[in-house]
Structure 1
């Protein structure tokens, strides 16, 4: 007697972001992958850029149905990007999705930005929860940014990840240069560049004469390697950096184990 064929289930894809559920980036991401699985959107109800891995513990969270994605179950959340992932798994899906996508962020999340990024923290939270995840960012902060190329590469990379079983803690940080699609040379697997912001606080006065400060800064790349995300983006490649939530410095750990007195 022939064995019954197992019917392959449609993957469940959770989509979130940090720019808010009405941002063009998340609308373009949904459009890019909506036919690759059952898409469910849970995203902040307002911009949450720079929130990092913040969670809400001092006030209640609320979820409201959002009906702007035709045929797709979607909710806006009063919390952070990380809150969105936690609530989606526990209260919306009642199970772990097969993949979590975060973005498409308006602006860079290369190099040190991964530490501060709400987009990447949502992806990282999924990884912590044993859900393979990808954070997508376009190197254009404008609300009128052209997401044509970003849609194409978000779809390509999502298809690649869905094509075979991935490590359950896989987290990819994907950045897309803000150039026309025909100028993008392809995809490069990279390491995170050593770079940071040279920060400054502009001091001003409000109408009542009270001082306030506005954070500014200049991006400084100290890494001249040609295998970094900054190099790839500067040379019109889409950068893909595998990242992890284990922050242990294993090289230093090994040195300290040999050199420190116990």
Structure 2
């Protein structure tokens, strides 16, 4: 009998978040699942790793599913590292991260712990996908996401991904009938216009809350933001090589060694 695919599941909202519980449920239909996820919310951690404190990864049993689970004290990237080096007995065939509570489209990919976990797996040569639903609520309805999560994961298991590429998948917050399908997209040019809400403690010490609004500067109809606004699931192939290859020759023409 052929060995089932080994699937590593992680996230940044914490091991008890509804999104990851949904992702585990779907992945159990596709292979043998091992979960290594943060023991508390780690949203916005990006690719942070733990260097100056201890890490714990404790076995847990959260539901009656067949998966094996570990609750980790570290960041999403830590979870993938410790899974690969200490927990798994072979290299996983797939790593899936999410389902995130909230968008990781456009510039959000830079800040996302969800996507950083997928990218960490990609660095290790493991096909990886980050899934996000455009609903920040703890009570978000993940049911319409399930067929898209399963379909995309099945195709990655079948076809693999090129070295250095992971998938950033965002799903609109709509019922199943309203989602039109899947669009392969590029990352939209957009950013957060940020402000700090400055307040004072009763003792007179200043403190700040980060606020802001998301501004889409991209009018293209081939972007993730366009796809989501038009009721499509977006897939953006994302690379972790940040080199601006097109600008290398321009810098060489500066004659820096003259």
Normalising by the residue count of structure 2, what TM-score does the alignment of the two structures yield?
0.96
The number of equivalent residue pairs is 256
How much has 1:136 moved relative to structure 2?
A: 0.2
CA distance in 2, matches of 1:165, 1:48: 28
Structure 2 counterpart of 1:236: 231
Alignment partner for residue 10 of structure 1, among 4, 10, 31?
4
Q: Tell me, in whole angstroms, the C-alpha distance in 1 between the residues paired with 2:146 and 2:241.
A: 30
- Residue 127 of structure 2 corresponds to 132
The DSSP-based 3-state class of the residue aligned with 2:237 is: strand
Q: How many Å apart are 1:254 and its aligned residue? A: 2.6
Please, which of 214, 222, 225 is the counterpart of residue 220 of structure 2? 225
> Could you list the runs of 4 or more consecutive aligned residues of structure 1 that deviate by over 6 angstroms after TM superposition?
none
> Match for residue 177 of structure 1?
172
The residue aligned with 1:46 is 40
Q: Once the two structures are superposed, what CA deviation does each residue of 1:22-69 show, in whole Å capped at 9, x if it has no partner?
A: 000000101112120111000000000000000000001001111014
Name stretches of at least 5 consecutive residues in structure 2 with no aligned partner. Answer: none
Structure 1 residue aligned with 2:202:
207
State how far apart, in whole Å, the 2-side matches of 1:204 and 1:42 are. Answer: 38
Q: Which stretch has the larger CA shift, 206-215 or 15-24?
A: 206-215
In structure 2, the partner of 1:252 is 247
- C-alpha distance in structure 1 between counterparts of 2:101 and 2:227, whole Å: 18
Whether 1:85 and 2:80 are equivalent positions in the alignment is yes
Deviation at 1:230, TM superposition (A): 0.5
For the residues of structure 1 that align with 2:135 and 2:158, how far apart are their CA atoms? 29
TM-score (norm 1): 0.95
Deviation at 1:208, TM superposition (A): 2.6
- Render the CA deviation track for 1:203-260: whole Å, top value 9, x for unaligned: 1122333211000010000010000000000001000000011000011113223454
**8 Å contact kept, 1:132–1:169:** no
The CA distance in 1 between the partners of 2:152 and 2:170, in whole Å, is: 11
Match of 2:93 among 98, 110, 131: 98
Q: 1:178-193 to 2 correspondence within 5 Å? A: 178-193=173-188
CA contact (8 A) 1:177 1:233 kept: yes
Q: Deviations over 1:70-125 (max 9, x none)?
A: 22100000000000000000111033211000000000000000000000000000
